[in-house]
Amino acid sequence: MKKIAGLAVIVLFGGIFLAAGPQAPAKDVPLTPDQRMDKLFDFWNRLDQPGFAAVVVKDGRILYQKTFGLACQEHAVPIAADTVFNIGDASQVFVGQAVALLEKQGRLSLDDDVRKVLPELPDFGTPVRLRHLLFHCSGLRDWLPVIRLTGREAEEFDFTRLLKILQSQKKLIFAPGQRCQYSNTNYDLLAETIKRITGQSFSDWAFENIFKPLKMTRTQFRDNYRSIIDNQAFTYNFTRQEYLKGIDTLSLTGSHSLFISIGDLAKWLTAAETGGAGGLDVTDKIFTPARLNNGSAGGYGYGWAIQKDAGRRQAGVTGIWAGSGAVLIYYPDQKFGFAVLANWDYTSVGGFVPDIIDIYLPAPAPAAPPKIPSSAAAPQTKKVSLSPQILDSYCGDFRLGPGQIMTFLRTNDQFFLQIPGQKFALTTLTETEFLLDLAGARIVFQKDKAGKVSQMTWVQGGEETIAPRVIMVKPTAEELKAFAGLFFNEELSVRYRIEARGEALVIIDAKGVEARLAPDEKDHFTSRAASLPMIIFQRDAQGRVAGFRIDSDPVGDLLFRKD
């Protein structure tokens, strides 16, 4: 599951996921949980479009299980309990379980250097261990954004191509165990490690040791994208004009390529209470977050993202691939879990999550405040007031992430946060700290050694995100011409072209697909292309543009030199 750093990104920049279906009107007689679930999926309960499947379990018992829509749009075949869905990178939870089983059997150790089993991987000068792969803290590039950069994502992708990407990586993005960064590469290497340790294909081993013991006979990892899978939910991309078939040319097992039915997911979720395949010690282990080098929690367990929800431990994973979608959520301490599967991308499966949690596992009511005797005077809240000079020192632009600029400004004695199209009043807490009530977030400004405000920290949901101060620059049409030219990356053997078109700068990838670059701070540009969140131009000693690097966590600093 890909974690999102800071709810601010969701609330302010991306738009928070709302209820996926029409809300039930208020009635005198409350709706039952089943009725509320039916209402949630009512809009998609029709046989003229692709659809969804959902299951909810509690204490080893199925509370709700239904399917909606078509598995095959062309032949009007409805989705059934045994229809198998491609769950994309949600497949990783079963790789994590496989690692835990083999670890219990003593057939592998998380401290093993991955090159012990896969010697063809590069030697980066520091060991990348199995635990680093498992907990997404290896520093290895994610192959998915890399192949998107090459423009070859529609071609067959297998372990041989993955290996070429890794062998071209010059250095790790960060030291192993230093921090977490989601990378599909990690779990494909784990699956290949299991294949070599056991002498079986990972798909065969997983079926014999995980799926078969739980009678999950409709579940399988796919090794070849051309393989025929019976009773499959074909995937679709939705456009305003038509449905398009999802393109899936992935012949890589591990991070992706698991096909599973909602009926089999129900078996897996109900078995989690008793330990499923491997026992309770394995189940407890897969839901336990890792520790990074500095001792802090990394946020990932054995294939799961682990976090707190209303004080409760929550394990979650989301998968998206070729039009399909899947979300699995499990609360180990409450023995409660659910899954939603989709075979089209019209609505995000993640949009159903808060509603299902609210139906079956609502957040505990906050404790009532202590009663104050009527004779006691109500406490007075001290109003914090800052001078215009102090507020003005905080005014300006701060970068929360690529393309995510927060602007702070003052109007009279009121301090505001502004993002494109929205403006929010802030509550002053201290001389350096402010509150954004809407998101429940605190904003803390910090000064550098010279006494100037250089950054702010966004504090929300137990996480902190540092946003440096930036000075936004908009180059003139003449200045943009200096950025134009051909740029080549040696590691990927790919060439991009940049053109100045009047007051716009456009980047053109290897397939000829264009993306407009928006000016940011000096020599920085952002785009809406997922693979190019930000590019930063490099200059030589004479100040001439000599290249650019892609600033993207999953791929690190990929440098393109100007031809």
Last residue within a domain, chosen from 342, 360, 378: 360
Instruction: State the Cα angle at 314 between 308 and 316, rounded to 5°.
Output: 120
**Token digits for 520?**
């940011």
Query: Based on the domain organization, do 133 and 189 belong to the same domain?
Result: yes
**Token digits for 490?**
């040696």
Query: Based on the domain organization, do 312 and 184 belong to the same domain?
Result: yes
CA 474 to CA 413: how far, in whole Å?
A: 29
Q: What is the pLDDT of residue 8?
A: 41
Distances (CA, A) of 190 to 99, 122, 231, 304, 421: 8, 16, 29, 15, 44
CA 238 to CA 240: how far, in whole Å?
A: 7
pLDDT in tens, 92-101: 999 999 999 9
Q: Average pLDDT over the chain, rounded to whole?
A: 90
Task: List the one residue out of 504, 508, 532, 531 whose CA is nearest residue 518.
Answer: 504
Last residue within a domain, chosen from 470, 490, 507: 470
3-state secondary structure of 380: coil
Query: Based on the domain organization, do 123 and 226 belong to the same domain?
Result: yes
Query: Based on the domain organization, do 222 and 287 belong to the same domain?
Result: yes
Return phi, psi of residue 125, to 5°.
90, -10
pTM to 2 decimal places:
0.86
Mean pLDDT of 151-164: 93
Determine, yes or no, domain membership for 224.
yes
Domain with 554 in it: what CATH number? 2.40.128.50
Number of compact structural domains in the chain: 3
Q: What is the DSSP string of 48-86?
A: SSB-EEEEEEETTEEEEEEEESEEETTTTEEP-TT-EEE
Query: Based on the domain organization, do 260 and 339 belong to the same domain?
Result: yes
Q: Where is average pLDDT lowest: 3-12, 164-173, 381-390?
A: 3-12
Determine, yes or no, domain membership for 305.
yes
Domain with 463 in it: what CATH number? 2.40.128
Determine, yes or no, domain membership for 337.
yes
Between the two ends of the chain, the Cα-to-Cα distance in Å is 39
pLDDT in tens, 526-542: 998 888 899 999 999 99
Query: Based on the domain organization, do 269 and 394 belong to the same domain?
Result: no
Q: What is the DSSP string of 492-540?
A: TTEEEEEEEETTEEEEE-TT--EEEEEE-BTTEEE-S-TT-SEEEEEE-
Domain with 85 in it: what CATH number? 3.40.710.10
Task: List the one residue out of 178, 168, 192 whose CA is nearest residue 138.
Answer: 178
Percentage of the chain beyond pLDDT 70 is 91
Q: Long-range pairs for 489-493 at CB < 8 Å and ≥24 separation?
A: 489/149, 489/558, 489/559, 489/560, 489/561, 490/561, 491/168, 491/169, 491/170, 491/558, 492/146, 492/149, 492/150, 492/168, 492/558, 493/168
Last residue within a domain, chosen from 470, 487, 505: 470
CA 417 to CA 411: how far, in whole Å?
A: 11
Query: Based on the domain organization, do 454 and 309 belong to the same domain?
Result: no
pLDDT range class, residue 461, cuts 50, 70, 90: confident
Which residue range is the domain that position 207 belongs to? 7-139+174-360
Query: Based on the domain organization, do 420 and 282 belong to the same domain?
Result: no
Query: Based on the domain organization, do 214 and 188 belong to the same domain?
Result: yes
Determine, yes or no, domain membership for 127.
yes
Query: Based on the domain organization, do 416 and 298 belong to the same domain?
Result: no
CA 37 to CA 18: how far, in whole Å?
A: 15
Determine, yes or no, domain membership for 396.
yes
CA atoms lying within 13 Å on the CB side of residue 54: 23
Task: List the one residue out of 180, 176, 459 whose CA is nearest residue 297.
Answer: 180
Instruction: State the Cα angle at 17 between 16 and 22, rounded to 5°.
Output: 130
pLDDT range class, residue 151, cuts 50, 70, 90: confident
Q: Where are the alpha helices (DSSP H) in 75-156?
A: 92-104, 130-134, 143-150
Query: Based on the domain organization, do 213 and 93 belong to the same domain?
Result: yes
Determine, yes or no, domain membership for 355.
yes
Determine, yes or no, domain membership for 144.
no
In the block, tokens 């659910």 appear at 338
Query: Based on the domain organization, do 191 and 131 belong to the same domain?
Result: yes
Determine, yes or no, domain membership for 379.
no
Torsion angle in degrees (nearest 10) through CA of 339, 341, 346, 347: 0
